[in-house]
């Protein structure tokens, strides 16, 4: 079968599987992201989530702490409170078990911005102007820790667009809009999947945490693949699809996968499914 144009990715799935099955994981992710934002917004009234994505509590009992923020705090020479350490351990435990980078696809509000930029790029056939190494995001982690140690403060707090967007949606957006617009323009016009795929150290942190996690997108019926390229066109980390569609492991074991399920949605041949890492190959 001839390759599909990027702007037409998913059309065959809609025709063959129906609109819901061609969008189910996208819709479920949006519901998850918007529900989490709503719970934070209603925090003072309902008392569900209080705080923000960097540091929060569930029902005033269970703490959650951004692991990258905790590492920067320690590097800066500050001793975190016990609840902050416990919150980071809880977050690490959850994402180490669930799925690689599940935070990026199912929680992070900035994902909606980068997905919109990617959709516009496909529809308008915008070609990326630059190509950056994907390893850059992993190198940013030690850079931030060293910078925090030198400055005596957690550097990423001041320039993190993820936290800026979440705080803006919950408490009111100020100058943080500038960061969000810059990320949008980066992904739309300059570097394909520039933020999530190349720069975000938080996503890289969750990739490392979820390296051995349980749920995996798996090419359970890769012999049905027609090489239409729809999955590659919508995947924010398309390099992770190469091995499962060839003769190697059918599971996507790469830590860069964000477990978004879009490859499952747009595949009209139903090549992909969510399975556990223990699925027999």
**pLDDT tops 90 at residue 169:** no
Alpha-carbon distance of 181 to 139, in angstroms, equals 24
> What rounded mean pLDDT belongs to the chain?
92
pLDDT classification of 176: cutoffs 50, 70, 90 = confident
Q: Is the dihedral of CA 43, 157, 185, 267 positive or negative?
A: negative
Instruction: Note the pLDDT tens digit of each residue in 236-251.
Output: 999 999 999 987 899 9
* More confident of the two residues 275 and 176: 275
Q: What DSSP letter does each residue of 223-234 carry, written as one string?
A: GG-----HHHHH
**pLDDT tops 80 at residue 172:** no
What is the model's pTM? 0.92
pLDDT classification of 29: cutoffs 50, 70, 90 = very high
pLDDT of residue 281: 64
Closest CA to 210 of 250, 269, 256, 244: 256
pLDDT of residue 125: 93
Average pLDDT over residues 185-194: 95
User: Poorest-confidence range of 120-124, 152-156, 202-206?
Assistant: 152-156
User: Poorest-confidence range of 115-124, 157-166, 194-203, 222-231?
Assistant: 157-166
Q: How far is CA 31 from CA 27, 83, 99, in A?
A: 6, 29, 18
Alpha-carbon distance of 4 to 122, in angstroms, equals 12
Alpha-carbon distance of 190 to 187, in angstroms, equals 6
- Long-range interactions of 111-116: CB distance < 8 A, separation 24+: 111/29, 111/33, 111/196, 112/30, 112/33, 113/165, 113/180, 113/183, 113/184, 113/187, 114/183, 114/184, 114/187, 114/193, 114/195, 114/196, 114/236, 115/236, 116/184
Closest CA to 168 of 159, 184, 180, 155: 180
Residue 54: burial class (beta carbons within 10 Å; 0-12, 13-18, 19+): buried
- Output the six-digit token pair for 266: 């747009």
């Amino acid at each position: 079968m001839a390759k599909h144009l990027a702007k037409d990715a998913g059309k065959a799935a809609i025709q063959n599987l129906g609109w819901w099955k061609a969008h189910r994981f996208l819709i479920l992710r949006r519901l998850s992201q918007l529900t989490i934002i709503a719970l934070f917004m209603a925090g003072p009234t309902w008392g569900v989530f209080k705080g923000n994505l960097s540091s929060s509590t569930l029902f005033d009992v269970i703490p959650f702490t951004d692991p990258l923020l905790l590492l920067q705090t320690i590097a800066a020479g500050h001793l975190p409170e016990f609840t902050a350490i416990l919150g980071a351990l809880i977050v690490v435990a959850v994402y180490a078990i669930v799925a690689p980078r599940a935070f990026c696809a199912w929680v992070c509000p900035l994902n909606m911005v980068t997905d919109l930029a990617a959709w516009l790029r496909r529809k308008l056939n915008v070609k990326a102007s630059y190509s950056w190494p994907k390893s850059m995001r992993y190198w940013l982690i030690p850079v931030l820790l060293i910078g925090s140690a030198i400055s005596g403060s957690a550097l990423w707090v001041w320039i993190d667009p993820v936290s800026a967007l979440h705080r803006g949606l919950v408490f009111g957006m100020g100058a943080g809009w500038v960061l969000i617009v810059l990320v949008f323009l980066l992904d739309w016009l300059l570097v394909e999947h520039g933020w999530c795929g190349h720069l975000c150290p938080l996503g890289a942190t969750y990739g490392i945490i979820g390296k051995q996690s349980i749920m995996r997108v798996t090419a359970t019926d890769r012999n049905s693949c027609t090489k239409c390229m729809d999955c590659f066109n919508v995947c924010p980390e398309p390099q992770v699809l190469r091995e499962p569609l060839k003769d190697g492991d059918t599971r996507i074991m790469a830590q860069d996968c964000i477990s978004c399920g879009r490859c499952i949605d747009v595949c009209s041949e139903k090549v992909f499914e969510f399975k556990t890492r223990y699925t027999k190959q």
